Chain A
C-alpha cells in the first residue's frame, strides 16, 4: 500500500517540478533602463535581453505607446506594465504566449458558428475533429455526430478545421450573425504514414481534458498484424497500456485490475454482452462496418454508467452519401466479408450493409471422410451489420442500426454443441433545438443468449442462458459559450435475465427475473482561464428488481432458509447511488499538460463464470438483488502529457489507484450452471489495483508506431477464500510491454509489426498432494490462491500489406495481406496443471506437470477487393 502512494507522490513531484520550472521564466529578473515605445517594440527589446520569444494574436493591441520604468524587475512585472489584466501569459520553453483573457466585451455581441465536419470522400461525419480559432488559441471538438458549436464575439477569425489523416482547411469567417458552417475535409495523401490513437489537432492529447482514454482508428487496426490476417478491434485494444488478457486467443480483456464483466462494450450505444466469435479467437466486430472506437479506462464522463472499469464505445459506419462502395475480403479465419454502402436520395442519407461468414464446412466435411471421429463437426459463425441514416432537414436526422451474429460449435465426439449470439438495434433521432443545443433521443435493444446441448447427460439435456435489454435514452449537449459545455440527460433500461434453464427438469433452472436501471446525469465542461479545463460530472443511478421471479434467502452458512415468490411487475428490491465524476487538465505550456480524474462507477450487473480461463461459453449474467450488492469502484488517475519534435512524438505517464467494494468471487468448486441457488455460491469482498502506464507514440514521419509499458497490480480479499487473506487477481500481470510499428517500404508495400511481452498470469499450483480412491493422480493441496506464475508471455507478429499501384482505369482494386502471427512460434502457456501425462499416447496414467499452449506460428494470406 505504502509503495503505491509513494509512486503516485513521486509522479506528482515530477509534475510540480515541471510547473515550477515554467513559472521561473516569468520570475526571471532583468535590469532595464527607462524605455518608451510601442508595446511591440518593448516586447522585442525584452526578447533580446531575455531570449524569451513572445507570441500573440493580432487581436492584441500592440501599437500603443508605453513607458516602462528602469531598474531590476521580473518579466512578469514588465508585462503587467504593458497590459492591463485582460491578457493571460501562457509559458512554454523559452516562450510566452500572450492571449486575450476575456473574449467577451460587455458592449460586444456574441454569435454562434456551428455545423458538421465530414469526410469529403464519403460524407461520413468525423468524430473528434477539431475546430481551432487561431486568433483566440481556442476551439472546439466535434461530438459523436460530427457536430460542433462555438459562440464568439463579433469579429473576423481564422478557423482551422483539422483531423488527423485529413488535409487541414483554413477558413476566414466574419462573425456578425449566427452561422452554420459545414466542412468536408479531404483525405490526406500521407494518411498511411500516420498511426493514430488520439485524434484531432496535433496537440489534442495535450489540450483535451481526456485522461486514460484511447481512440483507435480502423485504418490503423487494419494495418496491424492479426491472427489469420483478420484485423480485430478487441485484439488491438489488448495492446494498449492498462489492458490485459488471460488466455491466448481470447476476446476477454481486463482494464486496470477490473474483471472481464466490468467493461461496457457498446456498439452504437447498444451493449454487446459476449464479444466472441470462435470461442474468442475473433471478436464480433467486423472492422469493415466500424468507424470509430474509444476506450475509457478512467475519467469516464457522466453520460456513461453501468460498468465499473471501462467503456469501449464503438460506432458503426454510416455509409457514403457520395457514391457506391463495395468491399469484399477473403481470409482463412475471418471468412468471407462483403460490405456495401451507398447514398440514399442524392446525399440526403446513406446505408451500409456488411456481413461475414466462415466457410469451414467443406474442409470439415473432407476431414470427416478421412477421420470418422470428425464426422458431424461444425464450427462456424456469421454476423451482419446494417446502418441507415437519413437527414430530414437541417435540424433533424434519423439513424437506424443493428447487429446480428451467431456462433455454432458442434463436436459430436464430445457430446457437445454450443451456439451463441448477440443482437443489437439502435434507433436514434438527432435534433438541433438551436445552434447551441444538440439532442439525441435513442431507443436501444440488446440481446445475448447461448444454448449448450449435452447429450451425454443421463437424460440428454440442453442449457440456455441469456439477457435482453430495452433501453431509452435522451441526452443533450448545450454549447453554452466557448468555455462552457453542458452534457445532460436521462435513461432507463429494462433488463430481462434468463440466467439458465434446461429442457428436461425445471428444478435445475435458475429463476428468471427483471430489473429496471435508471440514470440521470449532468456533466459540465468549463475552461477556467487559458490553462485550466475542468469537467465536473454527477450521475445518479437507480436499480430496481422486478418480479415475476423467485428469490431465495440464505443464512450465514449460505444455506437457503426461505423462498419468496414475487408477482409480475412487483418491485421487491432497489439500490440507488450517486456517482461523482471529475476531470481536470492544467496546461503547463503548449507542449505539456497534467491531467487528473476521479470517478465512481456502480455496476448492478454481474457476469458469473467460474472458469480459470477467459473462454466465454458458460457466462451467466445476473442482477444485483437482495443477496448481491452492486459493485462500487472508485478510481483516481493522474497523468503527465508531453509532445516532442513539433508534435511528432506524444508521450504520457499515468498513475492510477482503484478501490472496489462488493467484489464478487466464488466459493471453491462453485456451481454456476444448473443451480437455482447459485447466489449461495458467491462470496463478497473487496479489491484494489494500482499501476503506472507509460506511453510513447510516434505519429508522423515514415516510421510510425507506439511503445507502451505498464506496471500494475490487482488484488482481491474475499472472506472464506484463501483463508481470508489477500490474493492476486487472476489477471494480475505486473509488467506489460506492447509495441506496434508501421513502415511503408514503398508505395506498394507496407510492413507492420507488433511485439508484446507480459509477466505470466497468476496461477495456483499445488504445494503437495495425496492419494485417494485408488486414483493415480494425487488430489492436489493448495496453499494460497494465484501465488504462482505462468512463464512470461511474448510474441512477435508481422504483416505485409501489398497495395498494387493505382490504375485509374481499373474499377476494382485488389489488395493482399500476408501476415504471420507468433513469428518465432513461442509456445506461450495457457495453463499449467498437475495431472495425467497428456503429451503421451500411452494408456498408462502418469502424474506430471502439463503445460498447455495454444497458438504456434500462424502464417496467412488475405485478399481484399474494393469497388
Chain B
C-alpha cells in the first residue's frame, strides 16, 4: 500500500521533469524533555457495557514507544445525577472501566473527572443522536473501492474505505468487523464521516493503509455507527489533520488539537450514541461496477 502512495507523489512531480523526495532526518531539536502532561482518551456510549478511559502521559514527539501509562488515578464519570466510578484493570495499567451495567443517554452531558498526583482534571461532552445507517449496498459503492486483488480468484474482494468520508449531514464514526478468510481471523475497519469537505483529507492522504475488509458472498459484517458531538468532531478532525494527513502538499498550518480536558490535560473524553447492525454480503452487493 505504501508503495502505491509514494508512486502517487512521484507522479505529480516526475511529470514536471523533476522528482519529489522524502528522506528521514535526525532532528536534535525534538530531543528535549517533555512536560509529561496527562492525556485522556475515553468514551461513554448508550450501550450497556463497561465504558473505558485510558490515561497516559505525553512523550517525545518522534517517539515510536507508547506514552507512559498513568496508574492509581481516581476516575469518575457523572451525568449530573449519577456517578459512575471507574476501576483500573489489573492487567492493563492506565486503562479504567466502569461497571458493565452503565448506559449513557442521548441528550445528557457527561463529565469525566480524574484525580492524579493531587491534580483534578475534568472533561465534558454531550451525547448527540446518531444518524441512521445508509443502505447496505452503499458500502460497496464509491467512494469505497471493491477490488479483486487475488490472482485466479474472482470470489474474494478487498473492500477499502477512505479514512474519512466527507459531505455528510452530521459527523460519525463507523466500525466494521468481518472474518478475513485469507488471514483466517477477524478484521476491523474504522472510518469517520465528516460534514463539509477538507481538501487536504483527499489529496495525498497517504499516512497508513486505508481501512479494509476482505469479503465474499456470504461474509457476515457487523457494523456500528457512533455519533460525535461538535467538539468531538473538531478534535478528531484536528488529530487526523496532524497525523493522517500531515506531510501532504496542501497541509494545514500546524496547530494543537483542541481538547475538552481542563488543567493543561490533552486528549478528549467523548459521549456517543451508537447503533449497530449485522448483515451478510450477497452476490448482488459485489456486482458493482467500480
Which A residues form the contact surface with B (CB < 8 A)? 228, 249, 278, 281, 332-333, 360, 363-364, 367, 371, 373-374, 377, 379, 411, 413-416, 452, 454-461, 463, 502, 504-505, 508, 610-613, 615, 617-618, 666, 668-671, 673-675, 730, 764-773, 775-782, 785, 788, 827, 831-843, 845-856, 858, 860
- Chain A's closest residue to B249 (CB) is A615
Interface string of B52-84 (1 = CB under 8 A from A): 000011111111101100000000000000000
Whether, in the assembled complex, B151 has its beta carbon less than 8 Å from a beta carbon of chain A, the answer is no
Tell me which residues across on chain A come within 8 A of B130, comparing CB atoms: none
Tell me which residues across on chain A come within 8 A of B256, comparing CB atoms: 668, 781-782
Contact of A770 among B20, B22, B59, B193 (CB under 8 A): B59
Tell me which residues across on chain B come within 8 A of A843, comparing CB atoms: 1-2, 209
Q: Are A856 and B18 in contact (CB under 8 A)?
A: yes
Q: Are B8 and A414 in contact (CB under 8 A)?
A: yes
Q: Are A850 and B22 in contact (CB under 8 A)?
A: yes
Contact of A850 among B11, B61, B165, B247 (CB under 8 A): B247
Q: Are B253 and A612 in contact (CB under 8 A)?
A: yes
Given A613-B249, A834-B61, A838-B6 in contact, is the A845-B202 Cβ separation under 8 Å? no
Whether, in the assembled complex, B167 has its beta carbon less than 8 Å from a beta carbon of chain A, the answer is yes
Tell me which residues across on chain B come within 8 A of A452, comparing CB atoms: 199
Q: Are A377 and B162 in contact (CB under 8 A)?
A: no
Q: Are A853 and B8 in contact (CB under 8 A)?
A: no
- Chain B's closest residue to A278 (CB) is B16
Q: Is the interface of A mostly helix, strand, loop or mixed?
A: loop
Interface string of B222-240 (1 = CB under 8 A from A): 0000000000001011110
Choose among A668, A730, A827 the residue with the greatest number of B CB atoms under 10 Å from its CB. Answer: A668
Given A610-B252, A669-B237 in contact, is the A838-B15 Cβ separation under 8 Å? no
Q: Is the interface of B mostly helix, strand, loop or mixed?
A: loop
Interface string of B190-228 (1 = CB under 8 A from A): 000100111100111011110000000000000000000
Interface string of B32-48 (1 = CB under 8 A from A): 10110101010000000
Q: Are B11 and A413 in contact (CB under 8 A)?
A: yes
Tell me which residues across on chain A come within 8 A of B204, comparing CB atoms: 414
Q: How far is the CA of A374 from the CA of B14 in the complex (A)?
A: 11
Tell me which residues across on chain B come within 8 A of A675, comparing CB atoms: 196
Tell me which residues across on chain A come within 8 A of B199, comparing CB atoms: 452, 454, 463, 618, 673
Q: How far is the CA of A96 from the CA of B153 in the complex (A)?
A: 97
Tell me which residues across on chain A come within 8 A of B56, comparing CB atoms: 770-771
Given A611-B250, A849-B30 in contact, is the A856-B19 Cβ separation under 8 Å? yes
Q: How far is the CA of A333 from the CA of B254 in the complex (A)?
A: 33
List 14 extra interface pairs beyond A765-B30, A765-B61, A833-B246, CB under 8 A.
Answer: A228-B17, A373-B8, A413-B11, A457-B166, A504-B167, A508-B197, A769-B61, A769-B62, A775-B244, A779-B242, A841-B6, A843-B2, A851-B22, A851-B25
Tell me which residues across on chain A come within 8 A of B242, comparing CB atoms: 779-780
Which B residues form the contact surface with A (CB < 8 A)? 1-4, 6-9, 11-13, 15-27, 29-30, 32, 34-35, 37, 39, 41, 56-64, 66-67, 142-143, 162, 165-168, 193, 196-199, 202-204, 206-209, 234, 236-239, 241-244, 246-247, 249-258, 266-268
Tell me which residues across on chain A come within 8 A of B66, comparing CB atoms: 771
- Can you list 14 pairs linking A and B with CB atoms under 8 Å apart? A374-B11, A377-B11, A458-B168, A461-B197, A768-B58, A770-B67, A771-B39, A773-B239, A779-B266, A780-B242, A836-B208, A843-B2, A850-B24, A850-B247
Tell me which residues across on chain B come within 8 A of A767, comparing CB atoms: 30, 32, 34, 61
How many interface contacts (CB-CB < 8 Å) are there between A and B? 279
Q: Are B142 and A456 in contact (CB under 8 A)?
A: yes
Contact of B243 among A364, A730, A775 (CB under 8 A): A775
Q: How far is the CA of A765 from the CA of B256 in the complex (A)?
A: 11
> 7 closest pairs, A vs B, by CB?
A668-B255, A766-B61, A768-B34, A770-B39, A674-B197, A838-B22, A764-B254
Q: How far is the CA of A411 from the CA of B20 in the complex (A)?
A: 16
Tell me which residues across on chain B come within 8 A of A456, comparing CB atoms: 142-143, 162, 202
Q: How far is the CA of A379 from the CA of B237 in the complex (A)?
A: 31
Given A458-B166, A827-B23, A842-B2 in contact, is the A773-B41 Cβ separation under 8 Å? yes
Contact of A460 among B7, B142, B244 (CB under 8 A): B142
Given A278-B16, A669-B234, A765-B27 in contact, is the A827-B21 Cβ separation under 8 Å? yes
Q: How far is the CA of A845 from the CA of B243 in the complex (A)?
A: 11
Q: In the complex, what's the smallest C-beta–C-beta distance from B94 to chain A, in angstroms?
A: 10
Q: Are B13 and A854 in contact (CB under 8 A)?
A: yes
Contact of B253 among A411, A610, A768, A860 (CB under 8 A): A610
Q: How far is the CA of A463 from the CA of B166 in the complex (A)?
A: 13
Q: In the complex, what's the smallest C-beta–C-beta distance from A779 to chain B, in angstroms?
A: 5
Tell me which residues across on chain A come within 8 A of B247, comparing CB atoms: 831, 833, 835-836, 838, 850, 852
Contact of B63 among A617, A769, A860 (CB under 8 A): A769
Tell me which residues across on chain B come within 8 A of A373, comparing CB atoms: 4, 7-8, 11
Tell me which residues across on chain A come within 8 A of B17, comparing CB atoms: 228, 332-333, 858, 860
- Chain A's closest residue to B13 (CB) is A854
Q: Are A839 and B23 in contact (CB under 8 A)?
A: yes
Q: Are A611 and B251 in contact (CB under 8 A)?
A: yes
Choose among B26, B59, B193, B241 the residue with the greatest number of A CB atoms under 10 Å from its CB. Answer: B59
Q: Are A788 and B11 in contact (CB under 8 A)?
A: no
Q: Are B239 and A779 in contact (CB under 8 A)?
A: yes
Given A781-B58, A848-B62 in contact, is the A281-B267 Cβ separation under 8 Å? no
Q: In the complex, what's the smallest C-beta–C-beta distance from A775 to chain B, in angstroms?
A: 5
Q: How far is the CA of A602 from the CA of B174 in the complex (A)?
A: 49
Contact of A377 among B15, B57, B209 (CB under 8 A): B15
Q: Are B62 and A834 in contact (CB under 8 A)?
A: yes
Q: In the complex, what's the smallest C-beta–C-beta distance from A8 to chain B, in angstroms?
A: 32
Q: How far is the CA of A657 from the CA of B257 in the complex (A)?
A: 35
- Chain B's closest residue to A617 (CB) is B250
Tell me which residues across on chain B come within 8 A of A788, comparing CB atoms: 29
Q: Are A772 and B143 in contact (CB under 8 A)?
A: no
Q: How far is the CA of A414 from the CA of B249 in the complex (A)?
A: 13
Tell me which residues across on chain B come within 8 A of A854, comparing CB atoms: 13, 18, 20-21
Q: Are A781 and B61 in contact (CB under 8 A)?
A: yes
Q: How far is the CA of A220 from the CA of B165 in the complex (A)?
A: 51
Tell me which residues across on chain B come within 8 A of A776, comparing CB atoms: 64, 208
Q: Are A457 and B197 in contact (CB under 8 A)?
A: yes
Q: Are B267 and A770 in contact (CB under 8 A)?
A: yes
Q: Are B267 and A839 in contact (CB under 8 A)?
A: no
Q: How far is the CA of A858 from the CA of B13 in the complex (A)?
A: 12
Contact of A669 among B16, B57, B255 (CB under 8 A): B255
Q: How far is the CA of A844 from the CA of B4 in the complex (A)?
A: 14
Tell me which residues across on chain B come within 8 A of A367, comparing CB atoms: 15
Q: Are A459 and B167 in contact (CB under 8 A)?
A: yes
Q: In the complex, what's the smallest C-beta–C-beta distance from B71 to chain A, in angstroms?
A: 16
Tell me which residues across on chain B come within 8 A of A855, comparing CB atoms: 18
Q: Are B2 and A379 in contact (CB under 8 A)?
A: no
Tell me which residues across on chain B come within 8 A of A764, comparing CB atoms: 253-254
Q: Are B62 and A847 in contact (CB under 8 A)?
A: yes
Contact of B30 among A281, A504, A834, A841 (CB under 8 A): A834
- Chain A's closest residue to B35 (CB) is A768
Q: In the complex, what's the smallest C-beta–C-beta distance from B259 to chain A, in angstroms?
A: 10
Q: Are A768 and B250 in contact (CB under 8 A)?
A: no
Contact of B207 among A371, A768, A777, A779 (CB under 8 A): A777
Q: How far is the CA of A418 from the CA of B211 in the complex (A)?
A: 26
Tell me which residues across on chain A come within 8 A of B57, comparing CB atoms: 770
Tell me which residues across on chain A come within 8 A of B13, comparing CB atoms: 854
Q: In the complex, what's the smallest C-beta–C-beta distance from A862 to chain B, in angstroms?
A: 13
Contact of A613 among B3, B39, B167, B250 (CB under 8 A): B250
Tell me which residues across on chain B come within 8 A of A615, comparing CB atoms: 249-250
- Chain B's closest residue to A460 (CB) is B142
Q: Are B239 and A772 in contact (CB under 8 A)?
A: yes
Q: Are A837 and B253 in contact (CB under 8 A)?
A: no
Q: Are A508 and B196 in contact (CB under 8 A)?
A: yes
Q: How far is the CA of A839 from the CA of B5 in the complex (A)?
A: 11
Contact of A416 among B23, B25, B30, B203 (CB under 8 A): B203
Tell me which residues across on chain A come within 8 A of B9, comparing CB atoms: 838
Q: How far is the CA of A668 from the CA of B259 in the complex (A)?
A: 13
